[in-house]
Amino acid sequence: MVIGLTGPNASGKGEAALYLRSKGFIYHSLSDALREEAKRLGIQPVRENLINLGNELRRKNGASFLAVRIIEGLTKTEDHVVDSIRNPSEVQVLREIDDFVLIAIDAPIEIRFKRSIKRKRPGDAGTLEEFIEKEGEENIDALENQQLKKCLNLADRLIINDSTIEGFHKRIDEAIKKGTHPEKA
């Protein structure tokens, strides 16, 4: 099984990936591919730079470039989780994999902002207004750009991460049950 994770900033994708790793899934991240490229180019790996680099790579190499790069490392005999899916073309390429399920993780914007402040990543917004503004910039309707809202709408299952960590893990377990028809949860 290959689980894809998409969702807005600080929704819980990283926690979901960590939880899936604890269940034996092999972890892959489109953002890690960007960070590797940024390092190779001598670019600081802060959020804004990574977004710009991702958009540039998609423009130069096709909108599905990062997903194609990740697919090369997936094996059919093991379970995988692919984190940081941010463009509909990436979803389209990953859908070519048998047993692929796209899970969208979301949470109310105020909760996500508080999580963002708590984790203190370089380049994250300092105010709720700035957080909302940055989120708008991440949804520009251009083929090579991030389009998180469109990816959320393409998801097979939706998890709202607005409760306890235990409740979130339970929702993940329900979403990954093998043999169930993908549906919005």
What per-residue confidence (pLDDT) applies to 181? 43
Contact call for residues 37 and 53 (beta carbons, < 8 A): yes
According to CATH, the topology of domain 2-175 is Rossmann fold (3.40.50)
pTM: 0.86
Contact call for residues 18 and 3 (beta carbons, < 8 A): no
What per-residue confidence (pLDDT) applies to 177? 86
Distance CA 16, CA 166 (A): 11
- Taking only the tens place, the pLDDT of each residue in 7-24 is 998 999 999 999 999 999
Contact call for residues 79 and 1 (beta carbons, < 8 A): yes
Contact call for residues 66 and 54 (beta carbons, < 8 A): yes
Contact call for residues 91 and 166 (beta carbons, < 8 A): no
Tell me the CA distances in angstroms from 25 to 5, 79, 80, one per residue in order: 13, 5, 5
Of 134 and 79, the one with more pLDDT = 79
pLDDT-above-90 percentage for the chain: 56
pLDDT higher than 60, residue 179: no
Point out which residues pair with 102 in neighbouring strands.
4
What does the DSSP assignment read for 139-154? Answer: T---TTS--HHHHHHH
For the chain, which residues make up each domain, given as ranges?
Answer: 2-175
